[in-house]
């Protein structure tokens, strides 16, 4: 590779590092040593190929969980995408590096044997664990003691450890000036009534832990820990794809068969997915899963299109290359959780020559409606049982029903629409439809004195 091109590639890697550090400062913290702490297991890693964009085919992100001893492919992106998506299956220490491929198929660096990390991230989703308990009162002061447990504490910063109290019935919390190195604190609450005490602790990843207790000059109550943490954001919505498999659940199982298996067998099945038909991302490994069961179950983030490809790895670590930019997935799956929208526009009961007939009009809307998805039924109450009127009708239409001899004199009507994913939408008439339109008449037949 020409030295000028190599210099360009080195600048690209440097650009990735700087952009990542700048972006992440708003989400995690760089606490020195180039390590960034994150409370999310799903995140984007931006990059900027700059002038090299037109000369690159793709960039591949590799991750190491043993501090550079081994590297595993994690994501592949075109140079104009400007980010990778990473998904971790656990908390821990992760190193990242990038390998580029130009339009001639040349790689930089040529191998990852001596690759250096472009980014180091500690993922920590667990909030600090706090034990907060009352201390025996002394000389007119109440007190609390505490114990904090966390893998990545951040007590050196002034706002990372907070001890507050408030009087009974008050909404105002008062801050207490505690020493971060201490494990107890006493103060005069200026009241003999019980006061509520709250301790909040933040770790380096930005997780907050919290614990509550009450204290009084006569003794206090047991602590009430209330930990919590934030959930990662969902995945981006994909484009449409032809020849897709529709499902109506976020839990998906892929059945597969193994071919050309050698004496070492199959040790692992990697699951790769794409949402745009270009970039690829690897699902985190599924501990304890036996590849010989010939089925993989996993959860997706939500509705959308997912292109999926499986890559088998032998017992000695050999496998086909992971999917690259431009490679089609083995299968497209669309997750559709939305029910069709159904409207029952009118129910007209026939009179005169049309007596004994009922005319229904309706419409149904859904992006995945199949052909003739409508079914009509009736029931005397909303809980059923529902008796079919007709099935296999068009999604927007009109139907004239000739009522059978034995039908209730009034009933509810339901229109159902099923989409290709199996979601069922419905509309039920607001009130009972009266089909007995007879108007009784009375004729006087006689006049009798007295009596009734």
CATH of the domain at 290: 2.60.40
Using the 3D structure, point to which of 82, 106, 123 is the last residue of a domain. 123
Task: Provide the domain count of the chain.
Answer: 4
Cis peptide bond upstream of 109, omega within 30 = yes
Residue 449 covered by a domain: no
Cα separation of 411 and 347, whole Å?
A: 11
**Per-residue pLDDT tens digits for 255-291:** 999 989 899 988 888 999 988 888 888 888 776 778 8
Residue 240 covered by a domain: no
**427 and 356 assigned to the same domain:** yes
Please tell me the predicted confidence (pLDDT) of residue 179: 81
**43 and 65 assigned to the same domain:** yes
**317 and 369 assigned to the same domain:** no
Residue 450 covered by a domain: no
Residue 381 covered by a domain: yes
Residue 33 covered by a domain: yes
Contacts of 315 (CB under 8 A, 6+ apart): 262, 264, 265, 266, 267
**118 and 158 assigned to the same domain:** no
Query: Among all chains, which residue has been given the structure tokens 């934030």?
Result: 230
**352 and 330 assigned to the same domain:** no
**Per-residue pLDDT tens digits for 355-392:** 888 999 998 888 888 889 999 999 999 988 999 999 99
Domain of residue 110 covers 3-123
Residue 235 covered by a domain: no
Query: How confident is the model over 183-203, as a mean pLDDT?
Result: 86
Residue 236 covered by a domain: no
**353 and 274 assigned to the same domain:** no
**117 and 133 assigned to the same domain:** no
Residue 273 covered by a domain: yes
**274 and 213 assigned to the same domain:** no
**207 and 299 assigned to the same domain:** no
Using the 3D structure, point to which of 104, 123, 142 is the last residue of a domain. 123
Using the 3D structure, point to which of 225, 253, 288 is the last residue of a domain. 225
**113 and 212 assigned to the same domain:** no
Here the CATH number for the domain that contains residue 356 is: 2.60.40.10
**Per-residue pLDDT tens digits for 292-343:** 888 888 888 888 889 999 999 898 888 888 898 888 999 999 999 999 999 9
**Per-residue pLDDT tens digits for 54-105:** 888 999 999 999 988 899 999 999 988 888 989 888 899 999 999 999 898 8
**330 and 368 assigned to the same domain:** no
Please tell me the predicted confidence (pLDDT) of residue 399: 92
**7 and 118 assigned to the same domain:** yes
Please calculate the CA angle 269-275-276 and round it to the nearest 5 degrees: 125
């Amino acid at each position: 590779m020409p030295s000028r091109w190599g210099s360009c590639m080195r600048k690209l890697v440097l650009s990735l590092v700087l952009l990542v550090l700048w972006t992440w400062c708003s989400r995690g913290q760089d606490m020195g040593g180039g390590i960034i702490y994150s409370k999310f297991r799903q995140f984007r890693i931006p990059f900027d190929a700059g002038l090299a964009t037109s000369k690159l085919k793709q960039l591949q992100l590799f991750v190491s969980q043993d501090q550079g001893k081994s590297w595993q492919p994690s994501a592949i992106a075109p140079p104009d995408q400007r980010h990778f998506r990473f998904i971790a299956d656990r908390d821990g220490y992760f190193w990242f590096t990038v390998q580029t491929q130009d339009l001639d198929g040349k790689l930089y660096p040529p191998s990852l044997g001596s690759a250096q990390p472009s980014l180091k991230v500690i993922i920590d989703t667990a909030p600090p664990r706090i034990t907060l308990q009352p201390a025996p009162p002394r000389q007119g002061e109440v007190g609390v003691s505490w114990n904090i447990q966390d893998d990545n504490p951040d007590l050196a910063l002034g706002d990372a450890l907070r001890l507050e109290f408030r009087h009974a019935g008050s909404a105002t919390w008062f801050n207490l000036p505690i020493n971060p190195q201490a494990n107890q604190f006493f103060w005069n609450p200026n009241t003999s009534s019980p006061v509520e005490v709250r301790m909040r602790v933040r770790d380096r990843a930005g997780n907050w832990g919290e614990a509550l207790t009450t204290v009084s000059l006569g003794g206090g109550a047991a602590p009430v820990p209330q930990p919590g943490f934030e959930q990662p954001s969902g995945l981006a919505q994909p484009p449409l794809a032809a020849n897709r498999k529709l499902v109506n659940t976020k839990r998906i199982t892929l059945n597969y068969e193994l071919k050309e298996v050698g004496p070492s067998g199959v040790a692992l099945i990697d699951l790769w997915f794409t949402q745009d038909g270009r970039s690829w991302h690897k699902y985190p490994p599924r501990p304890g899963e036996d590849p010989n069961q010939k089925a993989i179950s996993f959860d997706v983030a939500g509705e959308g299109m997912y292109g999926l490809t499986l890559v088998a790895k032998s017992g000695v670590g050999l496998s086909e290359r992971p999917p690259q930019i431009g490679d089609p997935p083995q299968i497209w799956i669309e997750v559709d959780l939305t029910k069709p929208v159904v409207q029952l526009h009118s129910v007209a009961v026939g009179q005169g020559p049309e007596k004994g007939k009922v005319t229904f009009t309706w419409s149904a809307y859904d992006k995945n409606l199949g052909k003739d998805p409508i079914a009509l039924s009736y029931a005397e109450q909303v809980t059923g049982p529902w008796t079919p009127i007709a099935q296999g009708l068009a999604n927007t239409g009109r139907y004239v029903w000739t009522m059978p001899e034995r039908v209730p004199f009034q009933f509810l009507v339901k229109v159902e629409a099923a989409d290709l994913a199996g979601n069922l939408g419905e509309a039920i008439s607001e009130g009972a439809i009266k089909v007995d339109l007879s108007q009784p008449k009375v004729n006087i037949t006689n006049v009798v004195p007295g009596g009734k």
